[in-house]
Amino acid sequence: MNQKIAQHRHCKACGKAFVGDGRYCSEECEKGNEQTMRKKRRQLLTLYIASVIILIGALVMSVL
């Protein structure tokens, strides 16, 4: 008893299967994912800045 599953996609945000075009099953998922991506970009930028500051501090301390 093999049943075929209709062509579908999985929502990029919540993982729920849906039929249609796009990457998200609803506008709520799309907006929520945008907020999550902004937060991740901000965290990554903070990490880069902190790394540069620590590197500069280490270089200054090694010269003294």
Q: How many domains does the chain have?
A: 1
Mind listing the pLDDT tens digit for each residue in 10-60? 999 999 999 988 999 999 999 999 999 999 999 999 999 999 999 999 999
Domain range holding 18? 9-63
In terms of pTM, does the model score above 0.75? Answer: no
Residue 4 located in a structural domain: no
Residue 48 lies in a domain: yes
Q: DSSP letters of the chain?
A: ---PPPP-EE-TTT--EE-SSSS-SSHHHHHHHHHHHHHHHHHHHHHHHHHHHHHHHHHHHHH-
